[in-house]
Amino acid sequence: RGVLSAGVVAASGVAVPTEAATTVVSGVCSLGAGATVPATGASALYITVKKGAAADAASSLVRATPAPAIAAIRLTDVDFPLEFTVSSTDLFPDAGELSPGTPLTVA
């Protein structure tokens, strides 16, 4: 089982195709002790982003209304530790606006 460690760098609104992509969140993903990665080409790592902090995510599960993901990326043939960046181009169309400092959960 992998352990994900990430920190919010900045938040921004949804980019339009003519604008340069901006960083929404970046971090480092590392494996826990004893974890292994399948052979090259046989695995993928998905990183999803949701609005709200971890406490918000836990309370939404209790209410059976988990927050929808606002962005996701798929990475293949990765080495750990892995530095990653989720940019404004990875945001889903219905993600809405993000203000600087918006708490995000990365999983």
Mean pLDDT, rounded, of the chain: 75
- Per DSSP, the three-state class of 40 is coil
d(CA 78, CA 16): 29
Q: Can you give the pLDDT at residue 72?
A: 94
**How far apart (Å, rounded) are the C-alpha atoms in residues 79 and 83?**
9
With cut-offs at 50, 70 and 90, classify the pLDDT of residue 82. confident
Cβ of 13: how many Cβ atoms within 10 Å? 15
Closest CA relative to residue 24, chosen from 76, 96, 91: 91
Model pTM greater than 0.85? no
Q: How confident is the model at residue 67 (pLDDT cuts 50, 70, 90)?
A: confident
**Residues 34-60 pLDDT 10s:** 888 777 667 788 999 988 876 665 666
